[in-house]
């Protein structure tokens, strides 16, 4: 019988407790200074320091991504050399050339959504706008029909709730629901007059696996669905959180709004990109990712056994005072060398070029088409609950 190496480890905190969930960012900041590698049953060993997280990312032979033996996860649940082959196909969809071609389409989607936002009245940016912004870009990118927008928005929300509850049965059911949507799209693209879009391209892609892993082949449906699911979760949950984070940031910093509007008016879009990067550092739209140890390891002054669940906490890494001077202060001109918002190493986010583009265009369109973005009323924001980041409510007023 195998024993769970964490069964006997005492808990330093409870990451699902109301205290932590009321303000995740503050809770991670507080725990990082007290206990940089903190244990609880839900997240296992949470790595909270920037340097420890970098060490884990640089040592995939110790911190493996194969966290589940039951489900495949393309490419995040894989280690090299399998991961390398799947990642090569993944990356070809996010090249600078592809992004350049896609930018006008993104701008069109964002322009249309921003122009429909109410003027001079209070609205909740997280109720409609943020999700629609993310899902519509995803649909255009993948070549999917508009009729999928609402089911996908609802799917992401159900998935988030089941993940927090740790409800494996429900998570399985929800995964099957997603499979159904994607299988239908794959079937359509295998038909006689199939559309020539990214979904169709993925079906044809050859994964260059080494001979001992079976040699080059196209993806199975299970692999295609898993890859598409991971793109969708990357896009829908993370990018929609970013929309709320950006709006709340602008509302909270009217002077910075003015400075960025002026920069934009003279074509200094690099200033907008730098502001987005710094805003994401301060309030990471993705809280965590998982690893499992392949051997015993000492990290952050703590001994972790082999086979242990490890959680990389990005939200904490990016506010670590040992990695950033005045870590909790907004400074768009600081070096972003230690910013881990898109990860680092083998599993660094392949969608980062797309995400950066979407977020820059969003900030540009918000600034270009408004005179002022403000909060609407008292208590305008409500913090999101894990695994979501940012806010579940951002009461906004634009003029």
Among 45, 144, 314, 324, binds ligand HEM (CB under 6 A): 314
Q: How far is the CB of 234 from ligand HEM (least distance, A)?
A: 3
Q: How far is the CB of 340 from ligand HEM (least distance, A)?
A: 7
238: left (phi over 0), alpha (psi -120 to 50) or beta: alpha
What does the alpha-carbon distance between residue 35 and residue 59 come to, in Å, rounded to a whole number? 22
CA 309 to chain centre: 20
Of all helices (H) and strands (E), which one includes residue 242? helix 240-252
Q: Are 351 and 235 in contact, with CB atoms under 8 Å apart?
A: yes
Q: Which of 256, 273, 282 is nearest to 358 (CA)?
A: 273
Cβ-based neighbour number of residue 177 at 10 Å? 13
Q: Which residue number, 90 or 257, has a Cβ lying nearer to ligand HEM?
A: 90
Q: Is 64 in the site for ligand HEM (CB under 6 A)?
A: no
Q: Which of 65, 56, 62, 63 is nearest to 84 (CA)?
A: 65
**From 108-116, 232-240, 322-330, 375-383, span contacting ligand HEM (CB under 6 A):** 232-240
Burial status of residue 67 (CB atoms within 10 A of its CB: 0-12, 13-18, 19 or more): middle
Q: How far is the CB of 78 from ligand HEM (least distance, A)?
A: 7
Match 């939200």 to its residue by tokens: 315
The answer for residues whose C-beta is within 8 angstroms of residue 197's C-beta and 6 or more apart is: 142, 143, 189
Token pair for residue 114? 């921003």
What does the alpha-carbon distance between residue 47 and residue 352 come to, in Å, rounded to a whole number? 22
Among 286, 297, 304, 357, binds ligand HEM (CB under 6 A): 286
Cβ-based neighbour number of residue 218 at 10 Å? 13
Match 């039951």 to its residue by tokens: 70
Please report, as residue ranges, which positions from 289 to 308 form the binding site for ligand HEM (by CB under 6 A). 289
Q: Which residue number, 239 or 260, has a Cβ lying nearer to ligand HEM?
A: 239
Among 140, 273, 342, 369, binds ligand HEM (CB under 6 A): 342
Q: Is 390 in the site for ligand HEM (CB under 6 A)?
A: no
Return the sign of the alpha-carbon dihedral for residues 326, 331, 334, 340. positive
Q: Which residue number, 50 or 397, has a Cβ lying nearer to ligand HEM?
A: 50
Among 64, 230, 283, 311, binds ligand HEM (CB under 6 A): 230
Q: Is 114 in the site for ligand HEM (CB under 6 A)?
A: no
**From 19-27, 38-46, 267-275, 342-350, span contacting ligand HEM (CB under 6 A):** 342-350
Among 49, 229, 347, 360, binds ligand HEM (CB under 6 A): 347
Backbone angles phi, psi at 345, to 5 degrees: 85, -155
Q: Is 353 in the site for ligand HEM (CB under 6 A)?
A: no
Among 36, 44, 75, 332, binds ligand HEM (CB under 6 A): 75
Q: How far is the CB of 326 from ligand HEM (least distance, A)?
A: 22
The b/e string for 373-398 (b: 16+ C-beta within 10 A; e otherwise) is: bbbbeeebbebbbbbbbbbebbbbbb
Size of the site for ligand HEM (CB under 6 A): 23
Q: How far is the CB of 399 from ligand HEM (least distance, A)?
A: 28
Cβ-based neighbour number of residue 189 at 10 Å? 18
Among 45, 72, 229, 234, binds ligand HEM (CB under 6 A): 234
How do the residues of the chain divide into helix, strand and coil, expressed in percent and rounded to 5? 50, 10, 35
Q: Is 117 in the site for ligand HEM (CB under 6 A)?
A: no
**From 144-152, 159-167, 174-182, 236-244, span contacting ligand HEM (CB under 6 A):** 236-244
Among 36, 44, 244, 285, binds ligand HEM (CB under 6 A): 285
Among 114, 130, 242, 366, binds ligand HEM (CB under 6 A): 242
Q: Is 243 in the site for ligand HEM (CB under 6 A)?
A: no
Binding positions for ligand HEM, rule: CB under 6 A: 75-76, 87, 230-231, 234-235, 238-239, 242, 285-286, 289, 314, 341-343, 347, 349-351, 354-355
């Amino acid at each position: 019988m195998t024993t769970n190496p964490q069964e006997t480890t005492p808990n330093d905190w409870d990451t699902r407790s109301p205290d932590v969930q009321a303000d995740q960012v503050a809770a991670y900041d507080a725990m990082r200074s007290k206990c940089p590698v903190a244990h609880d049953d839900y997240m296992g060993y949470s790595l909270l320091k920037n340097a420890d997280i970098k060490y884990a990312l640089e040592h995939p032979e110790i911190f493996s991504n194969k966290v589940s033996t039951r489900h495949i996860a393309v490419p995040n649940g894989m280690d090299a050399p399998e991961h390398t082959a799947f990642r090569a196909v993944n990356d070809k969809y996010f090249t600078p050339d592809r992004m350049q071609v896609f930018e006008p389409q993104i701008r069109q989607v964002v322009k249309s959504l921003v122009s429909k936002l109410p003027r001079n009245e209070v609205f909740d940016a997280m109720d409609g706008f943020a999700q629609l912004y993310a899902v519509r870009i995803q649909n255009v990118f993948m070549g999917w029909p508009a009729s999928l927008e609402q089911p996908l928005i609802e799917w992401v929300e159900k998935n988030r709730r089941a993940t927090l509850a740790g409800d494996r049965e429900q998570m399985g059911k929800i995964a099957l629901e997603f499979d159904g949507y994607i299988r239908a799209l794959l079937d359509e693209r295998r038909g006689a007059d199939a559309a020539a879009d990214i979904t169709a391209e993925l079906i044809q892609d050859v994964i260059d696996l080494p001979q001992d892993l079976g040699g080059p082949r196209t993806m199975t449906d299970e692999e295609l669905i898993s890859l598409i699911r991971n793109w969708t979760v990357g896009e829908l949950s993370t990018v929609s959180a970013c929309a709320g984070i950006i709006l709340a940031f602008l509302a909270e910093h009217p002077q910075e709004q003015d400075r960025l509007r002026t920069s934009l008016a003279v074509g200094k879009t690099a200033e907008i990109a730098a502001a987005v990067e710094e805003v994401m550092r301060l309030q990471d739209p993705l809280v965590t990712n998982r690893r499992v140890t392949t051997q015993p390891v000492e990290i952050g002054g703590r001994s972790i056994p082999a086979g242990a669940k490890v959680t990389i906490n990005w939200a904490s890494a990016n506010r670590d005072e040992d990695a950033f001077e005045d870590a909790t202060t907004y400074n768009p001109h600081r070096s972003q060398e230690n910013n881990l918002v898109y990860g680092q190493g083998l599993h660094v986010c392949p969608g980062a070029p797309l995400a950066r583009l979407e977020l820059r265009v969003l900030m540009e369109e918000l600034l270009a088409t408004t005179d002022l973005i403000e909060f609407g009323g008292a208590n305008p924001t409500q913090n999101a609950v894990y695994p979501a980041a940012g806010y579940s409510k951002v009461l906004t007023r634009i003029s």
